[in-house]
Homo-oligomer: A and B are copies of this chain.
Amino acid sequence: MKKTEKMTPKEIRALIRKGEWQRPTSGLALGYAQANLVVLPKKYAFDFLLFCQRNPKPCPLLEVLDAGKYITEILAAGADITTDLPLYNVYKNGKLISTIQNVENLWQDDFVTFLLGCSYSFEEALLKVKVPVRHIEEEKNVPMYITHITCRQAGIFKGPLVVSMRPIPENLLVKAVNITSRYAAVHGAPVHIGNPLKIGIKDIHKPDFGDAVTIRTGEVPVFWACGVTPQAAVMEAKPDICITHAPGHMFISDILNEELASI
């Protein structure tokens, strides 16, 4: 069998579909964009689409499927949303009820699928220009924090902006801002540089999600809008049913990260 690091996105999705890859997707199909998944019944779809339109930094939409459709067109030709992610979370009334390998049997004709950009894309861009990404170096989850910045509400969806943090050496701050600004489709430019208190983070060493990482002397904490924001807003709204990817088990697209860059 071909080694996974040499496989195309399509080959990896086929492997996942057969149930032969159930682990996180980090490091797979390098160079290709991965996406967050949110599936909601149609009755919630306008509100959620509007929430994304009003909060594009935490909720950068890459593709929305018509109600009932589970085959992608833009991010990949013919990928199947119900089988092509390694692991799914199923929520009922805001509570996680199961974590499963495919959602074929749960599919409803009124389900609307949203695929949102993910920070893996801009982290690759940072690494390419030699800006360090600490949680990758330390083999941890990125640290994430609930801020006191409020998202713009849309119908039943509301909540605080959640950010991810990467410590950046002072002399690379400009480069980190410039490179991530090119990637508006995957969270884009930082939302804050420096003092965590200014955005309501009391203890940088105690993230609300993920793991704390080392901040070295001469490094500044830099905060980007995070894809946990829409997930938190969805859970808080307690829809009858909602399906998402399980953390780290993303949708692997056929789109190169570089294709998502603006310039």
Residues of chain A at the chain B interface (Cβ within 8 Å): 42, 45-46, 49-50, 52-54, 61, 64, 66, 154-155, 181, 184, 262-263
Looking at the assembled complex, report how far the CB atom of A109 sits from the nearest CB atom of chain B, in whole angstroms. 15
- For A262, give its contact among B45, B66, B154, B184 (CB under 8 Å): B184
Contact call A262/B54, Cβ cutoff below 8 A: no
- Residues of chain B within 8 A (CB-CB) of A42 are 46
- Residues of chain B within 8 A (CB-CB) of A263 are 181, 263
Contact call A181/B262, Cβ cutoff below 8 A: yes
- Residues of chain B within 8 A (CB-CB) of A184 are 184, 262
- Residues of chain B within 8 A (CB-CB) of A66 are 154-155
Q: Can you tell how many copies of this chain the complex includes?
A: 2
Contact call A50/B49, Cβ cutoff below 8 A: yes
Query: A64 vs B46: C-alpha distance in the bound complex, in angstroms?
Result: 11
Q: Majority SS of interface residues in chain A? A: helix
- For A64, give its contact among B53, B61, B262 (CB under 8 Å): B53
Looking at the assembled complex, report how far the CB atom of A239 sits from the nearest CB atom of chain B, in whole angstroms. 15
Query: A66 vs B64: C-alpha distance in the bound complex, in angstroms?
Result: 20
Query: A66 vs B157: C-alpha distance in the bound complex, in angstroms?
Result: 12
Query: A54 vs B171: C-alpha distance in the bound complex, in angstroms?
Result: 39
- Residues of chain B within 8 A (CB-CB) of A45 are 46
Looking at the assembled complex, report how far the CB atom of A261 sits from the nearest CB atom of chain B, in whole angstroms. 12
Query: A50 vs B53: C-alpha distance in the bound complex, in angstroms?
Result: 10
Looking at the assembled complex, report how far the CB atom of A43 sits from the nearest CB atom of chain B, in whole angstroms. 10
Query: A262 vs B46: C-alpha distance in the bound complex, in angstroms?
Result: 27
The list of the 8 closest CB pairs from A to B, nearest first, reads A46-B46, A49-B49, A45-B46, A50-B64, A53-B61, A53-B64, A49-B50, A262-B262
- Residues of chain B within 8 A (CB-CB) of A61 are 53
Query: A49 vs B45: C-alpha distance in the bound complex, in angstroms?
Result: 10
Query: A54 vs B46: C-alpha distance in the bound complex, in angstroms?
Result: 14
Query: A155 vs B64: C-alpha distance in the bound complex, in angstroms?
Result: 12
Query: A53 vs B112: C-alpha distance in the bound complex, in angstroms?
Result: 14
- Residues of chain B within 8 A (CB-CB) of A50 are 49, 64
Looking at the assembled complex, report how far the CB atom of A165 sits from the nearest CB atom of chain B, in whole angstroms. 23
- Residues of chain B within 8 A (CB-CB) of A53 are 49, 52-53, 61, 64
Looking at the assembled complex, report how far the CB atom of A181 sits from the nearest CB atom of chain B, in whole angstroms. 7
Looking at the assembled complex, report how far the CB atom of A67 sits from the nearest CB atom of chain B, in whole angstroms. 9
